[in-house]
Amino acid sequence: MSPDSATIRRVPTGPARRGPIGAEPARKVAGQPGTDKGAVTHEGSEARIDARGIYYKTLNEQIREEMLNGAQTVILENVNGQRYIGGGLSGEDVRVVINGVPGNDLATFMTGPTLIVNENAQDGVANTMNRGLVVINGDAGDVLGYGMRGGRLYVRGDVGYRVGIHMKAYEDQRPAMVIGGKARDFFGEYMAGGELVLLGLGSDGKDIVGSYLGTGMHGGVIYVRGEVAEHQLGKEVSIAPLSAAEQSRVAELVGDFAGWMGLDAGEILERPFIKIFPYTHRPYGKLYAY
Amino acid sequence: MAEVTFTRPEFRVRIDKELCQQCGRCAHQCGWGVHKMDEETGYPVPDSSKCGACHRCVTFCPAQAILVEKNPLAYKHSDSFSPDLRKAVWRQAETGGVLLAGMGNDKPYLRIFDHLLLDACQVTNPSIDPLREPMELRTFLGRKPDKIEVEYVPDGNGSKPKLKTEMDRLLQIETPIVFGGMSYGSVSLNVHRSLAMAAKELGTLMNTGEGGLHADLQPYQDNIVVQCASGRFGVHADYLNAGCAVEIKIGQGAKPGIGGHLPGEKINEEVSVTRMIPQGTDALSPAPHHDIYSIEDLRQLIYALKEATGYKPVSVKIAAVHNVAAIASGVVRAGADIVYLDGFRGGTGAAPTVIRDHVGIPIELAISVVDQRLRDEGIRNRASVIAAGGIRSSADVAKAIALGADACAIGSALLVALGCHLCQKCHTGSCSWGICTQKPELTRRLDPEWGAERIVNLVTAWSHELAEILGALGVNAVESLRGSHERLRSLGLDQQTQEILGVKPAGIGH
């Protein structure tokens, strides 16, 4: 007896899901006004966009459009969770000022511009960022500076988990991040280059950083203002005091950070820093049998 | 017992001294230093323990005086504890290290492709001769709309139809065969040059792998897919925009769930410039992307890449694992334009042998369950499916397409075309054929123009064969074969595998 194709095609792939489908075209999201643009006003080389209720794709198109038309500064008002602001943006001497809380992946793949956030930021800031400056005048979320290869990121307050993972440096491309407050677990994990500075301002005796600090780290350096217990360290790193050259490098980074934040750098630098660095730039060199 | 190894050479290299002209070419050609010229006698003295049977010396010996044979050394027989397993134990007892291997899984698992047979027309519904009639192999990869809306616009006396639906950008390929990702760093720059030139000439796509794009390849950008993997090597806005599409590499068939460790020895000056990391450092790719822990996170990266590239198509490469159908569904829902499935026979520049040989599932099963799942959920049109990992011939391509793939990607076959003899020593970085190495004296052995020509020849030949297969099936477009399980029959597969593949046993008609 020959089985018909209905019986032969009982393919056990799991329950079929029908109904609403997640991957709708990018513009059409419930409750979003779609392609409506934000109101823009111009003043000299400054453009001001009202981002209230504007869909992220449209908002980002508008930012690029204003810059192409010669705006040096784009000020965004009423930002509320729009993603990818500054994503892939390039250009020197251009600035985006964000009033409100931007969404995830701020400044992803960015090359050159300065982004100033006057409130908090969310996850994924400066993901794979190439060059430029991001200043956040509040707290920020998880996975900041993932794979960041250049530029600077300054955060006034606390940051979440997995910050500075796999930052890397190459020749004059040296990413640097200064965190004013505290950081959670996996700070600087897999780090391959660049500099992380953790100040722990306002930590009130709590731990400045979580566990697994610098796990898998094989390049770059982490400076922490205060103490870190042995159990917080990843097994590939150790602690040392700063050399004079490192001390002045920290002073330079903290000085710039404090300048943007309106803080007193001298006061911050009064407390001693420690250096966390990897034993080797080839942590798994002996893992394999050739 | 210091310095004693129990692992005896796998091959035996012999020089026929009657034929040998003492020219020393073998010593020069071998990347692993098997042949050393004896100053007194003038003959080469081979060290068989270093030989991988790559035939470089054999090919270039002008006197055909070299014989590479299997070492006939007998091992006490055990079906369970094979000599290979014993050797692995000895090497690990000696080194304490994880064993590495290159290329794909070489273990004797069931090769499903070899148990599938294609159909052909006889008498009724006549077959087509592709030499005299048009045969469409052109394929469009990317997201197709759920429905097409057309409006009629006035045109002189009457009206003409105009597409109203906004289409996503599609990738046009002239044959359903693209090149899989092989990074510069694992393979040489001349391999990348060969692939780029060939892709352009063939009207198909090469894939950079995760090692960045060398500046020399910028002119080929319309035929290049750039990869963004967990190490984010060489990934910057210019790089992302340097290709016609971006691929997020989540996994690889040869090492699902494993990151990559490109050893510092392979990071020379040029690789260092392209990967943007210092020379001599290990290039470590974490096992996961640490910004992707969920489908929502994947969606975030897909759209971050789209924002950064002006909405170019984004492909997501996943390894074929047990739950691949559900994962692929999530990938499509996350907004991927292409799902790239890599089966457990896929190649690698280096992977822990235990992972390469024991993790993942065959691509044939993955294609079938993914295609079916996407159809069941009504989202098959939202992404193209590329099948890779063990595609060895045009027959495999035809069978993969019949199982539901839009196109196939090949990698190992391309390297074999360039001279690779599957010696599986890619991870040593001393490839005598100049393919999987960064040593300048070896990489210059591969002339990119020659390489491109051989790849063009190979893919052109496979495309002709595909046309012949389609003609025999009585269809005139590769579209008509896609997902056509009815045109396949199984020979010697168990019933449940047949059900998963949606294929009837040979001997049963319609």
Calculate the alpha carbon distances from B165 to A37, A179, B148, B162, B334 in Å.
Answer: 21, 47, 6, 9, 21
Q: Are B377 and B130 within 8 A, CB to CB?
A: no
Residues whose CB falls within 8 Å of the CB of residue A52, separated by 6 or more in sequence, listed in order: A38, A77, A78, A80
- The DSSP string of A200-268 is -TT-TTS-SB-SSBTTT--EEEEEEES---GGGB-TTEEEEPPPHHHHHHHHHHHHHHHHHHT--HHHH
Residue A202, domain CATH: 2.160.20.60
**Per-residue confidence band for A281, with pLDDT thresholds at 50, 70 and 90:** confident
Higher pLDDT, B5 or A115: A115
A109 and B CB contact within 8 Å: yes
Q: Kindly determine whether residue A289 and residue B92, on different chains, have CB atoms separated by under 8 Å.
A: yes
DSSP secondary structure code for residue B19 in this structure: T
B278 falls within a domain: yes
CA–CA dist A165, B118 (Å, integer)? 50
Tell me the nearest-neighbour CA distance from A194 into chain B, angstroms: 11
Cross-strand pairs, A218 = none
CA–CA dist A131, A128 (Å, integer)? 10
Amino acid in the structure at residue A243: S
- Looking at B436, B456, B476, which one is the last position of a domain? B456
Show the tokens assigned to B157. Answer: 């006396």
Residues whose CB falls within 8 Å of the CB of residue A243, separated by 6 or more in sequence, listed in order: none
Residue B300, domain CATH: 3.20.20.70
Assess whether A57 and A125 both reside in one domain. Answer: yes
Assess whether A65 and A192 both reside in one domain. Answer: no
Query: At CA B422, angle to CA B351 and CA B202, rounded to 5?
Result: 100
DSSP secondary structure code for residue A57 in this structure: H
pLDDT at B2: 55
Residue of B nearest to A129 (CA): B236
B395 falls within a domain: yes
- Looking at A108, A137, A166, which one is the last position of a domain? A137
Assess whether B208 and B84 both reside in one domain. Answer: no
**What range does the domain containing A62 cover?**
32-137
CA–CA dist B307, A67 (Å, integer)? 16
Which segment of A128-132, A248-252, B269-273, B427-431 scores lowest on mean pLDDT? B269-273
| B430: alpha, beta or left? (left if phi > 0; alpha if psi -120 to 50) | alpha
A282 and B CB contact within 8 Å: yes
Q: Where are the beta strands (DSSP E) in B301-383?
A: 314-319, 338-342, 351-352
Q: Are B61 and B16 within 8 A, CB to CB?
A: no
Assess whether A182 and A83 both reside in one domain. Answer: no
Assess whether A146 and A231 both reside in one domain. Answer: yes
B142 falls within a domain: no
pLDDT at B131: 92
CA–CA dist A189, A199 (Å, integer)? 18
Number of domains in chain A: 2
Q: Are B383 and B143 within 8 A, CB to CB?
A: yes
- Chain B residues close to A10, C-beta within 8 Å: 499
Counting residues of chain A whose pLDDT is more than 70, the rounded percentage is: 88
Assess whether B321 and B451 both reside in one domain. Answer: yes
Could you tell me where the DSSP H helices lie in B474-502? 495-501
Assess whether B187 and B317 both reside in one domain. Answer: yes
**What range does the domain containing B62 cover?**
11-97
Q: What is the ipTM for the molecules in this complex?
A: 0.86
Across residues A232-246, what is the average pLDDT? 95
Tell me the nearest-neighbour CA distance from B156 into chain A, angstroms: 33
CA–CA dist A177, A156 (Å, integer)? 11
**Per-residue confidence band for A16, with pLDDT thresholds at 50, 70 and 90:** very low
pLDDT at A290: 66
By the 10 Å C-beta count (0-12 exposed, 13-18 middle, 19+ buried), A163 is classed as buried
How long a stretch of residues is chain B? 510
A10 falls within a domain: no
B70 falls within a domain: yes
pLDDT at A12: 41
Radius of gyration of chain B from its Cα atoms, rounded to whole angstroms: 25
A271 falls within a domain: yes
CA–CA dist B307, B338 (Å, integer)? 17
Assess whether A177 and A125 both reside in one domain. Answer: no
Tell me the nearest-neighbour CA distance from A155 into chain B, angstroms: 19
A27 falls within a domain: no
pLDDT at B413: 98
Assess whether A97 and A168 both reside in one domain. Answer: no
- Chain B residues close to A83, C-beta within 8 Å: 300, 303-304, 307
Assess whether A98 and A64 both reside in one domain. Answer: yes
- Chain A residues close to B325, C-beta within 8 Å: 13-14
Assess whether B89 and B201 both reside in one domain. Answer: no
Place of tokens 């900041």: A144
- Looking at A137, A170, A202, which one is the last position of a domain? A137
Residue A17 has pLDDT above 50, yes or no: no
A16 falls within a domain: no
Across residues A96-110, what is the average pLDDT? 97
Q: Work out whether the CA dihedral B373, B375, B380, B384 comes out positive or negative.
A: positive
DSSP secondary structure code for residue B113 in this structure: G
Across residues A233-246, what is the average pLDDT? 95
Assess whether A197 and A274 both reside in one domain. Answer: yes
CA–CA dist B206, B180 (Å, integer)? 7
- The DSSP string of A154-205 is EESS---SSTTTT---BTTB--EEEESS-B-TTTTTT-EEEEEEE--TT-TT
**Per-residue confidence band for A280, with pLDDT thresholds at 50, 70 and 90:** confident
Across residues A160-183, what is the average pLDDT? 95
Q: Kindly determine whether residue B276 and residue A168, on different chains, have CB atoms separated by under 8 Å.
A: yes
pLDDT per position as a tens digit, A33-68: 577 899 999 999 999 999 999 999 999 999 999 999
Chain-centre distance for alpha carbon B374: 24
Nearest in space to A108 (alpha carbons), one of B246, B99, B340:
B246
Q: Kindly determine whether residue A111 and residue B237, on different chains, have CB atoms separated by under 8 Å.
A: yes
Assess whether B79 and B181 both reside in one domain. Answer: no
Assess whether A148 and A74 both reside in one domain. Answer: no
Q: Are A152 and A259 within 8 A, CB to CB?
A: no
Angle between helices B448-473 and B394-403 (to 10 degrees): 50
What is the residue-level pLDDT of chain B in tens, covering all 510 positions? 557 889 999 999 999 999 999 999 999 999 999 999 999 999 999 999 999 999 999 999 999 999 999 999 999 999 999 999 999 999 999 999 999 999 999 999 999 999 999 999 999 889 999 999 999 999 999 999 999 999 999 888 888 999 998 889 999 999 999 999 999 988 999 999 999 999 999 999 999 998 889 999 989 999 999 999 998 888 888 899 899 999 999 999 999 998 887 777 778 888 888 888 888 887 888 889 988 999 999 999 999 999 999 999 999 999 999 999 999 999 999 999 999 999 999 999 989 999 999 999 999 999 999 999 999 999 999 999 999 999 999 999 999 999 999 999 999 999 999 999 999 999 888 999 999 999 999 999 999 999 999 999 999 999 999 999 999 999 999 999 999 999 999 999 999 999 999 999 999 998
| Most distant CA pair in chain B, distance | 97
- Looking at B97, B127, B154, which one is the last position of a domain? B97
CA–CA dist B270, B502 (Å, integer)? 48
B475 falls within a domain: no
Assess whether B260 and B406 both reside in one domain. Answer: yes
Assess whether A149 and A286 both reside in one domain. Answer: yes
Show the tokens assigned to B85. Answer: 């397993």
A119 falls within a domain: yes
Residue B52, domain CATH: 3.30.70.20
Q: Kindly determine whether residue B334 and residue A192, on different chains, have CB atoms separated by under 8 Å.
A: no
B108 falls within a domain: no
Tell me the nearest-neighbour CA distance from A122 into chain B, angstroms: 13
pLDDT at B196: 97
Q: Kindly determine whether residue A190 and residue B286, on different chains, have CB atoms separated by under 8 Å.
A: yes
Window 184-203 of A: residues touching B by CB (8 A cutoff) are 186, 189-190, 192-193
B127 falls within a domain: no
DSSP secondary structure code for residue B89 in this structure: H
Residues whose CB falls within 8 Å of the CB of residue A43, separated by 6 or more in sequence, listed in order: none
A44 falls within a domain: yes
Assess whether B93 and B178 both reside in one domain. Answer: no
Amino acid in the structure at residue B320: A
B60 falls within a domain: yes
pLDDT at B3: 73
pLDDT at B209: 92
A152 falls within a domain: yes
Cβ neighbours around B274 below 10 Å, total: 24
Angle between helices B295-309 and B324-333 (to 10 degrees): 40
Which of B307, B485, B499 minimises the CB distance to A10? B499
Nearest in space to A151 (alpha carbons), one of A195, A102, A98, A213:
A195
Q: Kindly determine whether residue A130 and residue B237, on different chains, have CB atoms separated by under 8 Å.
A: yes
- Looking at A78, A109, A137, which one is the last position of a domain? A137
Nearest in space to B204 (alpha carbons), one of B231, B176, B181:
B176
Residues whose CB falls within 8 Å of the CB of residue A17, separated by 6 or more in sequence, listed in order: B329, B377
Interface mutation target, options B166, B169, B232, chain A, most CBs of A under 10 Å: B232
CA–CA dist A92, A211 (Å, integer)? 38
CA–CA dist B421, B416 (Å, integer)? 6
Nearest in space to A194 (alpha carbons), one of A112, A277, A251:
A277
Cβ neighbours around B395 below 10 Å, total: 18
- The DSSP string of A21-44 is -S---TT--TTS-TTPPPPEEEET
Query: At CA B107, angle to CA B103 and CA B110, rounded to 5?
Result: 115
Q: Are B486 and B509 within 8 A, CB to CB?
A: no
Assess whether A146 and A278 both reside in one domain. Answer: yes
Assess whether A159 and A95 both reside in one domain. Answer: no
A161 and B CB contact within 8 Å: no
Nearest in space to B363 (alpha carbons), one of B182, B116, B48, B66:
B116
Assess whether B447 and B345 both reside in one domain. Answer: yes
A24 falls within a domain: no
pLDDT at B279: 83
Number of domains in chain B: 2
